């Protein structure tokens, strides 16, 4: 059997032990991880310097170098993040349904960890720390595969975190680092042992994962986010929000990629919008009207994620047409309406079929930290299980516990007994 299979069998075993840990043990383990990170600060930063030297030699772009860097400041941010996680309620063991089926037959629905989770993430060492601690708090065993540029940093971080956890009472095999593409491919076939894959990365990469595994996948392939400017809007507010939604950070999934402008604003707000985009270095592409009137290039694909200082602009006739366009060409990630009309806002939020629907604010807000979840493992565009930014709550499942006193179904089938189905308030 391959190494990765053996690791997966051990992780599955560990996940059963993790599922029954007391909250105290998990919180103590998180505290031990904090101490170990601080105690190993020099060695971690040294390892990160090796990665940075390699990356510079390979001419990695400056923004990527910035994300790869893991210095004293970022390490302390990681520790602060873990400490805030310790303070959060344990997501495991919460009773969310209790029904007395009959005398001496009590049904409970109780949250429990998912089991073994595989996370594949970009070259940010702080992501490794965040994901590992979210999985620990939620009682899941985890496979981690980070970007190869961060190989040295990831190796020492995984080692420090795994060891600290085990010394504080976590089972061997609770955290596993994968280092190659082959390991990732190996993981994809282990649906007997791995319960969930969370891939973060390019559209192409996420699609590849989704198509090559029987394991459930949580995440998003792309973020074609829209901002619709309704006829009844405050124009200054609209321009301010759209500028932030497009330009505050262009290379992320919640940046706006298409601006929809309501038809009555064609001669008023539209020219101001286009001027503002131009003044701020944003190249725009248009529908027939916009491209012929303003001499820009026409949009060839309305389902296009620029991740750049570029944006598509389209005229639509009212909020219903905006909803239709978004449901047809969006990716179910995050879409916003700018309006002073409550009825339009309600229609938009009801009909746009996306994880986050926003009114009068920037699409850039759709993120686990900003939503107050402490941290996120990713953003899901699936409609099953967790949707939108996924924090601790998305990392648990539940099981039914039915506690009887010798009850048999025959008694109910024969009519000797009948169910009471008394549902208790939680």
Asked whether the beta carbons of 190 and 204 are under 8 A apart, the reply is no
Establish how many alpha carbons lie within 13 A of residue 82's alpha carbon, considering only the half-sphere containing its beta carbon: 30
Whose Cβ is closer to a second copy: residue 80's or residue 180's? Answer: 80
Site for a second copy in 370-399 (CB under 8 A): 370-372, 382-385, 387-389, 397-399
Radius of gyration of the chain (CA): 25
Tokens of 212: 């090559």
- With binding defined as CB under 8 A, does residue 271 bind a second copy? no
Asked whether the beta carbons of 54 and 149 are under 8 A apart, the reply is yes
Asked whether the beta carbons of 4 and 190 are under 8 A apart, the reply is yes
State the minimum distance, in angstroms, from the CB of residue 94 to a second copy: 13
- With binding defined as CB under 8 A, does residue 408 bind a second copy? yes
- With binding defined as CB under 8 A, does residue 83 bind a second copy? no
State the minimum distance, in angstroms, from the CB of residue 36 to a second copy: 28
Nearest to 195 by CA among 134, 145, 143: 143
Question: How large is the greatest C-alpha to C-alpha distance in the chain, in angstroms?
Answer: 81
d(CA 204, CA 93): 37
Contacting residue, 79, 101, 151, 166, with a second copy by CB under 8 A: 101
Binding string, 33-52, against a second copy, x = CB under 8 A?
--------------------
Whose Cβ is closer to a second copy: residue 234's or residue 292's? Answer: 234
d(CA 25, CA 21): 6
- With binding defined as CB under 8 A, does residue 95 bind a second copy? no
Q: Which residues pair with 336 in a beta bridge?
A: 227, 358
Site for a second copy in 225-244 (CB under 8 A): 234, 237, 240-241, 243-244
d(CA 244, CA 224): 16
Asked whether the beta carbons of 354 and 216 are under 8 A apart, the reply is no
State the minimum distance, in angstroms, from the CB of residue 89 to a second copy: 11
State the minimum distance, in angstroms, from the CB of residue 98 to a second copy: 11
Asked whether the beta carbons of 242 and 251 are under 8 A apart, the reply is no
Site for a second copy in 113-132 (CB under 8 A): 114-115
Q: What is the total count of residues that contact a second copy (CB under 8 A)? A: 77
State the minimum distance, in angstroms, from the CB of residue 107 to a second copy: 6
- With binding defined as CB under 8 A, does residue 400 bind a second copy? yes
Contacting residue, 136, 187, 196, 274, with a second copy by CB under 8 A: 196
Whose Cβ is closer to a second copy: residue 240's or residue 310's? Answer: 240
φ, ψ for residue 36 (rounded to 5)? -65, -40
Contacting residue, 305, 355, 378, 381, with a second copy by CB under 8 A: 355
State the minimum distance, in angstroms, from the CB of residue 292 to a second copy: 30
Binding string, 176-195, against a second copy, x = CB under 8 A?
-------------------x
Contacting residue, 59, 87, 204, 211, with a second copy by CB under 8 A: 211
N- to C-terminal Cα distance for the chain?
47
- With binding defined as CB under 8 A, does residue 199 bind a second copy? no
Cα 259–264–265 angle (5° rounding)? 50
Whose Cβ is closer to a second copy: residue 278's or residue 399's? Answer: 399
State the minimum distance, in angstroms, from the CB of residue 13 to a second copy: 9
Interface segment toward a second copy; rule CB under 8 A; list 57-65, 124-132, 245-253, 270-278 = 245-253
d(CA 287, CA 316): 10
Tokens of 36: 């170990």
Contacting residue, 171, 201, 216, 235, with a second copy by CB under 8 A: 216
For β-strands 422-423 and 95-102, DSSP reports them as antiparallel
State the minimum distance, in angstroms, from the CB of residue 17 to a second copy: 8
State the minimum distance, in angstroms, from the CB of residue 203 to a second copy: 15
Nearest to 344 by CA among 364, 316, 369, 371: 316
Tokens of 82: 């873990």
φ, ψ for residue 17 (rounded to 5)? -65, -40
- With binding defined as CB under 8 A, does residue 19 bind a second copy? yes
State the minimum distance, in angstroms, from the CB of residue 362 to a second copy: 5
């Amino acid at each position: 059997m391959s190494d990765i299979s053996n690791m997966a069998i051990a992780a599955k075993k560990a996940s059963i032990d993790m599922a029954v840990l007391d909250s105290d043990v998990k919180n103590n383990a998180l505290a031990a991880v904090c101490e170990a990170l601080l105690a190993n600060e020099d060695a971690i930063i040294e390892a990160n310097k090796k990665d940075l030297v390699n990356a510079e030699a390979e001419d990695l772009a400056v923004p990527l170098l910035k994300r790869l860097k893991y210095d004293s400041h970022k390490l302390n941010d990681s520790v602060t993040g873990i400490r805030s996680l310790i303070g959060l309620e344990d997501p495991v063991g919460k009773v969310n349904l209790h029904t007395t089926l009959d005398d001496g037959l009590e049904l409970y629905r109780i949250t429990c960890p998912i089991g073994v989770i595989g996370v594949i993430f970009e070259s940010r060492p702080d992501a490794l720390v965040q994901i590992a601690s979210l999985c620990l708090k939620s009682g899941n065993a985890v496979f981690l595969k980070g970007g190869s540029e961060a190989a040295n940093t990831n190796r020492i971080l995984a080692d420090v975190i795994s060891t600290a956890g085990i010394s504080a009472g976590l089972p061997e095999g609770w955290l596993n680092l994968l280092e190659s593409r082959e390991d990732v491919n190996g993981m994809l076939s282990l649906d007997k042992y791995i319960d969930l894959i969370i891939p973060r990365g390019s559209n192409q990469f996420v699609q590849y994962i989704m198509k090559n595994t029987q394991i459930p996948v949580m995440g998003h392939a792309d973020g074609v986010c829209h901002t619709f400017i309704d006829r009844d809007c405050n124009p200054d507010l609209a321009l301010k929000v759209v500028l932030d939604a497009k330009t505050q950070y262009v290379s992320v999934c919640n940046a706006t990629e298409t601006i929809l402008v309501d038809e009555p604003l064609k001669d008023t707000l539209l020219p101001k919008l286009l001027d503002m985009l131009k003044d701020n270095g944003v190249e725009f592409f248009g529908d027939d009207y916009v491209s012929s009137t303003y001499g820009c290039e026409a949009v060839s694909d309305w389902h296009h994620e620029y991740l750049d200082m570029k944006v598509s602009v389209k005229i639509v006739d009212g909020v219903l047409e905006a909803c239709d366009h978004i449901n047809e060409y969006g990716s179910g990630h995050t879409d916003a309406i700018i309006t002073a009309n409550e009825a339009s806002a309600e229609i938009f939020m009801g009909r746009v079929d996306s994880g986050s629907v926003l009114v009068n604010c920037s699409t850039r807000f759709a993120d686990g930290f900003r939503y107050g979840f402490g941290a996120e493992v990713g953003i899901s565009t699936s409609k099953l299980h967790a949707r939108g930014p996924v924090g601790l709550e998305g990392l648990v499942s539940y099981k039914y516990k039915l506690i009887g006193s010798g009850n048999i179904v025959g008694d109910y089938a024969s009519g000797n007994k009948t169910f009471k189905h008394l549902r208790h308030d939680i």
